[in-house]
Amino acid sequence: MQNGIPISDFRVGLLDFRRIMFTAVLVAVVIGGLIFFLVQRSRNQVLKTENGWWGPGVPPDAEEDITIRSFKVTTSDEELEDLYRRIDQTRPVSSLEDSQFNYGFNSHYLQKVVSYWRNHFDWKKQVDKLNQYPHFKTNIEGIDVHYVHVKPKRVPEGTCAIPLIMVHGWPGSFYEFYGLIPLLTEPSDQGDLVFEVVCPSIPGYGFSEAPQKKGFDSVCAAHIFHKLMKRLGFQQFYAHGGDWGWLVTTNMAQLEPKTVKGLHVNFAPPSKPGLLMVLSIMLGRRFPKLFGFTEMDVERLYPCMEKLVVESIKESGYMHIQATKPDTAGRGLNDSPVGLAAYILEKFSTWTDHDFRNLEDGGLTRKFSLDDLLTNVMIYWTSGCIIPSMRFYKENFGKGLDVPHAKIPVYVPTGFACFPNELMHTPKLWVKQKYHNLISFSPMQCGGHFAAMEEPQLMAEDIQTFTKTVEKKTKKQ
């Protein structure tokens, strides 16, 4: 007997306890091993794509021409005369009384913009400004890819310039980064990193040739930009993007995670909502701390449901058109410079600050100069790229939401600059659902969708901080 229990029963109980413990440990080991396997498999999962041919006809038998050609933006008197003739023949339309920008671009203010464009805007001067940085073209997969490549004038002794590719979106262009480039290539602070910057035009945008075949989406653009960076001699580099540039650079990180040393974005809408995100939406207002929500998160995420739906409808009409029938609407914009300006500049108003819709001038010149805005419009007009730029929506949305890259997490070190007036607010919790190695999450003081153009100083500082952190971690490893 032991403590009143027969020895035989005690031994049986002890044996059962050991079996239970052994089984529990075995189950824990199996579950732990399974979790480890799944995590490792996820980490090793990369986005896959194949070489394409986006030029006319069938690909030639000859090897791909890898020549890099110098390029300059040019203009002519004939080009300007055609522009002025079309502007002069536009038919003005009156805006409704007290409508501001709530019906789209206010027609009365549009007349003022057009008058400035026609009589004061100096396109030849802006062409010189565009050419202040070196431009190049190279043929990749059958199309000429345009890019700006800016090397720093001076690199501190004992250091190397950090290669960085920056990718724009719609209705922007490579010109969005012109205020940011000198802050990165010629920083004023001696402790800052010096960057070597490459700003390509997405094929079908700006001075990059448009794909001639269906199916050219963000993954195809990412694949081409990887080829571009390798052709320039970069084995590793950093990437930055906003709007479509966010998705293209994210796909670059998914395609070749060892090549993209760090990813910095200022736009990151959730691609595939999971259970945690759904729970955070349902409970985040009542229990914000449970999900790490800040005051800004709560303020941006929880207007009344009616307001949320209405706001979404107000600002997404263009997307439905471009994701379904881009050629129809695009044809009119390609013929009318005034129509093109209204269509593009309206986004620079409402996407910079929703409240600008209630202003007679749309708040356009509160954040940008008319010269800069019209330069962006002229890049679309002179290159005739509005239709192929709109097709990019159909190529991406036409494949549905269940695309391979939506399921693959990003493990490349990532930095997110969270600007308060961005179209869609993304809390840190949501960003981490996609970007599993989130190094920095920076709530910014001000700025909207076109942050690189609107707040270049803030953007440069955040890119510097993020890159320094990654570089420091890399050296330690």
Question: For every one of its 477 residues, what pLDDT tens digit does the chain have, with 9 covering 90 and above?
Answer: 555 555 555 455 555 556 655 554 454 444 444 444 444 445 568 899 999 999 999 999 888 899 999 999 999 999 999 999 999 999 999 999 999 999 999 999 999 999 999 999 999 999 999 999 999 999 999 999 999 999 999 998 888 999 999 999 999 999 999 999 999 999 998 899 999 999 999 999 999 999 999 999 999 999 999 999 999 999 999 999 999 999 999 999 999 999 999 999 999 998 777 788 888 888 888 888 888 898 888 888 887 655 667 777 888 899 999 999 999 999 999 999 999 999 999 999 999 999 999 999 999 999 999 999 999 999 999 999 999 999 999 999 988 777 999 999 999 999 999 999 999 899 999 999 999 999 999 999 999 999 999 999 999 999 999 999 999 988 887
Same domain, 137 and 17: no
89 close to 343: Cβ distance less than 8 angstroms: no
Does any domain span residue 54?
A: no
Same domain, 216 and 359: yes
Same domain, 254 and 179: yes
The catalytic position among 133, 205, 380, 393 is 393
Does any domain span residue 51?
A: no
pTM of the model: 0.89
DSSP characters over 375-404:
HHHHHHHHHT-HHHHHHHHHHHHTT-S--H
The catalytic position among 192, 217, 243, 462 is 243
Closest CA to 143 of 209, 218, 206, 202: 209
Total Cβ atoms within 10 A of residue 288? 18
Same domain, 265 and 126: yes
**Spatial separation of the C-alpha atoms in residues 7 and 10, rounded to whole Å:** 5
Does any domain span residue 466?
A: yes
Q: State how many domains the chain has.
A: 2
Same domain, 16 and 83: no
Total Cβ atoms within 10 A of residue 23? 10
Total Cβ atoms within 10 A of residue 16? 10
272 close to 296: Cβ distance less than 8 angstroms: no
Paired tokens of 220: 């195809």
| Cα→Cα distances 263→93, 147, 226, 272, Å | 45, 19, 14, 20
DSSP characters over 136-177:
EEEEETTEEEEEEEE--S---TT--PEEEEEE--TT--GGGG
Same domain, 234 and 141: yes
Same domain, 276 and 141: yes
Q: Which residue type is seen at 233?
A: G
The answer to whether 178 is a known catalytic residue is no
Q: Which residues pair with 68 in a beta bridge?
A: 138
Same domain, 131 and 14: no
Give the count of alpha carbons within 13 A of 52, CB side only. 20
Q: Residue 16 sits in which domain range?
A: 1-41
Q: What is the 8-class DSSP label of residue 195?
A: E
Same domain, 35 and 74: no
The answer to whether 449 is a known catalytic residue is yes
Output the domain CATH number for residue 119: 3.40.50.1820
**Spatial separation of the C-alpha atoms in residues 61 and 75, rounded to whole Å:** 35
Does any domain span residue 56?
A: no
Does any domain span residue 180?
A: yes
Q: Which residue type is seen at 323?
A: A
Burial of 99 from C-beta contacts in 10 A (0-12 / 13-18 / 19+): middle
Phi/psi of residue 252, each to 5°? Answer: -60, -40
Same domain, 5 and 148: no
Does any domain span residue 46?
A: no
Does any domain span residue 57?
A: no
Element (H, E) at 316: helix 305-322
The answer to whether 116 is a known catalytic residue is no
Closest CA to 285 of 299, 305, 275, 274: 299
442 Cβ contact partners less than 8 Å away, ≥ 6 residues apart: 415, 416, 417, 418, 462, 465
Does any domain span residue 280?
A: yes
Same domain, 20 and 87: no
The catalytic position among 135, 175, 449, 462 is 449
Same domain, 29 and 165: no
Total Cβ atoms within 10 A of residue 12? 11
- Model pLDDT, residue 29: 45
